[in-house]
Amino acid sequence: MDGRLPPLPPDSDDFSADVTLIPFTRPLPLLRGPIRAAPSDDPSSGPYLLAFKTTDSWAAAYDSCKLQITSQCESGARIGCSISASNKCKPPWWKLLLGLTSQQDLSERAKCEEIEMEACCVAARERCAEFAKQKCVPAFKNARIKESRWDLGVVERKEVFVNKISKEIWPW
């Protein structure tokens, strides 16, 4: 859209709510809010820092980060897997040149592509999950969390990191 309003309806005397109100989508709530910086914090960051309200909101944001990155990675990987499977299963060049391909060759190629595609996608899922962790962990590892339910003040970053992220990386 170029920012112009839609043309007026033929009956321009109609000032009903349907015609005069412009609906807007609701804004997303803020993930983090400001808290006062502690004396031990870096003074160059200012008097306030951003912190998640609860460990649950922190965990939800972390899970959402991983899910979005994994989803985007898997979509790109599917395209690459499709090309790779097609290249691995294509008939030899000389069969194409001599016109010796048959319906049986095409059905075998379809089966081959299906098997190769599945194997490639399984491997890509594992790599994408690891890639998402590598991208999300640094950002969320040092995040501040203000727990208002128990009035604990700012929860220790190490405690949350150990409880959530480290179990995913080192499950023992």
Q: Choose between 62 and 2: higher pLDDT.
A: 62
Amino acid at 5: L
pTM, rounded to two decimals? 0.62
Query: In this structure, what token pair is assigned to residue 121?
Result: 């996608």
Residues above pLDDT 90, as percent of the chain: 34
Q: What is the pLDDT of residue 163?
A: 56
Q: What is the pLDDT of residue 84?
A: 93
Q: What is the pLDDT of residue 23?
A: 84
Say yes or no to pLDDT of 53 above 80. Answer: yes
Mean pLDDT, residues 59-80 taken together: 94
Say yes or no to pLDDT of 125 above 50. Answer: yes
Q: What is the pLDDT of residue 10?
A: 63
Say yes or no to pLDDT of 71 above 90. Answer: yes
Closest by Cα among 58, 77, 55, 76 to 66: 58
Confidence category of residue 143, pLDDT binned at 50, 70, 90? confident
Mean pLDDT, residues 93-97 taken together: 75
Region for 13 from its dihedrals, namely left if φ exceeds 0, alpha if ψ lies in -120 to 50, beta otherwise: alpha
What one-character DSSP code corresponds to residue 30?
P
Q: Between helices 55-89 and 103-141, what is the axis angle to 10°?
A: 150
Confidence category of residue 160, pLDDT binned at 50, 70, 90? low
